């Protein structure tokens, strides 16, 4: 199937409609002194919406995104959007970077140049990569699945076909976080002969439900308890998205204020920001990500991935992959696991505990993440 160049070009009527909706926002009340305790802080959201309406320049962000070579192709009946940035070194290694939720392919925009041209940023030219960043089907500019059953495993199938059948890479590496870690793991299970290695920033959550607590080490038992506590305090979003995503989507798809509230709270809670989300992300970054969701109307199809994966959990959840694995853990990520837990499911050959950073490592700590990816894959390159 043919690959076509792709340029982001949002109709002006879509942007005008967004601005009109921003003006018409109807605000709920808020408890005095609530801060972020009850969810997204109203004063901050009002500030961010004013910026979205008065200052934010989508055309400027569109131009920045279009500096990356982007393409579309059709795989399994779905139109797939992806960035394909060639490496600048003498023998670049191909790597697919898989994003998660509530972000998008935009998650990787700082990481791409650090991997394709490491010498420019103080690294070694021989560590360069050909970087491929697809949008998960149902996210951003990839087509939305129209049938039941599109899981992280199905996304891995699509990405594997993209890498091998469309781009003609016989073997490649993979990196991911959030849903991207699940997709990357499924690449290792489904296509081990094609995988040079995989690199993760978290251990996919479904493994928490496959272990016998009585067989865990004390550190692993503490991790399991921390996961249960986190689920009670922070996990309501996942329960809604895993059970009734359609009900939620009507409000988020209709109200930019509602959409931004749902997204920005995760960036505030899950990042290493000490409660000040703009310590880690600029307004332009937060709004570029939100605008991608808005203009493509993909909030419903993105959260539907939770429902589909809940209905069809991977049959590999209790198995271990032998593909070489690197893990970089950032301290303010959701629930960083102990090494013993990761060893149950992965052939861990590099384990890095970062000094700072959170769930959105590629945006928060791109230099540290890029360096870890380079160092993990360096001894594996000759195995191509």
CATH code assigned at 202:
3.40.50.1820
As to burial, measured by CB atoms within 10 angstroms (0-12 exposed, 13-18 middle, 19+ buried), residue 2 is: exposed
Cα dihedral value 378, 379, 382, 384, nearest 10: -70
Q: Which helix (H) or strand (E) holds 327?
A: strand 324-329
Q: Please state, in angstroms and as integers, the Cα–Cα distance from residue 291 to each residue in 144, 297, 305, 331, following that order.
A: 17, 9, 20, 29
Give SS3 for 85: strand
Helix, strand, coil in percent for the chain, rounding step 5: 50, 15, 35
Question: pLDDT at position 1, please?
Answer: 62
- Catalytic: which of 127, 178, 202, 272? 178
CA distance 337 to 356: 16
Question: pLDDT at position 195, please?
Answer: 98
The token pair at 307 is 């429902």
Provide the residue range defining the domain that includes 107: 4-383
- Catalytic: which of 109, 169, 293, 306? 306
Question: pLDDT at position 384, please?
Answer: 63
Yes or no: say if 306 and 248 are a contact pair by the CB < 8 Å rule. Answer: no
Q: CA angle 215-221-226, nearest 5°?
A: 150
351's CB contacts (< 8 A; 6+ apart) are: 326, 327, 329, 339, 342
Question: pLDDT at position 202, please?
Answer: 97
How would you classify residue 36: left for phi > 0, otherwise alpha for psi between -120 and 50, otherwise beta? Answer: alpha
Number of domains in the chain: 1
Question: pLDDT at position 317, please?
Answer: 80
178 an active-site residue? yes
Give SS3 for 309: helix
Give SS3 for 42: helix
CA distance 232 to 153: 27
Question: pLDDT at position 383, please?
Answer: 66
95 DSSP β-pair partners = 131, 173
CA distance 84 to 71: 7
CA distance 163 to 169: 6
Low-confidence ranges of the chain (pLDDT < 70): 1, 383-384
Question: pLDDT at position 214, please?
Answer: 87
């Amino acid at each position: 199937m043919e690959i076509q160049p792709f340029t982001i070009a949002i109709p002006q009527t879509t942007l005008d409609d967004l601005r009109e909706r921003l003006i018409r926002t109807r605000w709920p009340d808020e408890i005095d002194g609530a801060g972020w305790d009850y969810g997204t802080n109203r004063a901050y959201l009002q500030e961010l919406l004013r910026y979205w309406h008065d200052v934010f320049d989508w055309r400027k962000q569109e131009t920045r995104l279009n500096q990356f070579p982007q393409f579309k192709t059709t795989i399994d009946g779905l139109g797939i959007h992806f960035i394909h940035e060639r490496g600048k070194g003498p023998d670049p290694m191909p790597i697919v970077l898989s994003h998660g939720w509530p972000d998008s392919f935009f998650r990787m925009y700082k990481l791409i140049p650090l991997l394709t041209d490491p010498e420019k940023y103080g690294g070694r030219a021989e560590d360069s990569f050909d970087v491929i960043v697809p949008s998960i089907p149902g996210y951003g500019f990839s087509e939305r699945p129209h049938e039941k059953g599109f899981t992280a495993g199905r996304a891995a199938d699509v990405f594997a076909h993209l890498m091998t059948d469309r781009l003609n890479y016989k073997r490649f590496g993979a990196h991911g976080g959030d849903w991207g870690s699940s997709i990357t793991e499924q690449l290792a299970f489904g296509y081990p002969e094609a995988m040079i290695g995989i690199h993760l920033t978290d251990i996919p959550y479904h493994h928490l439900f496959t272990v016998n607590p009585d067989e865990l080490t004390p550190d692993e038992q503490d991790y399991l308890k921390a996961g249960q506590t986190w689920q009670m305090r922070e996990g309501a979003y996942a329960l809604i998205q895993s059970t009734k995503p359609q009900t939620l989507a009507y409000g988020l798809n209709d109200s930019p204020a509602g959409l931004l509230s749902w997204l920005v709270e995760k960036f505030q809670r899950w990042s290493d920001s000490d409660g000040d989300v703009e310590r880690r992300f600029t307004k332009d970054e937060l709004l570029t990500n939100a605008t991608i969701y808005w203009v493509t109307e993909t909030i419903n199809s993105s959260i539907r991935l939770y429902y589909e994966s809940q209905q069809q959990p991977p049959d590999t959840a209790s198995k271990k992959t032998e593909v070489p694995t690197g893990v970089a853990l950032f301290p303010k990520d959701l629930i960083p696991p102990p090494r013993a837990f990761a060893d149950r499911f992965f052939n861990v050959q590099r384990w890095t505990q970062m000094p700072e950073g959170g769930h959105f490592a590629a945006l928060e700590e791109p230099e540290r993440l890029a360096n870890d990816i380079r160092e993990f894959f360096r001894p594996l390159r000759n195995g191509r």
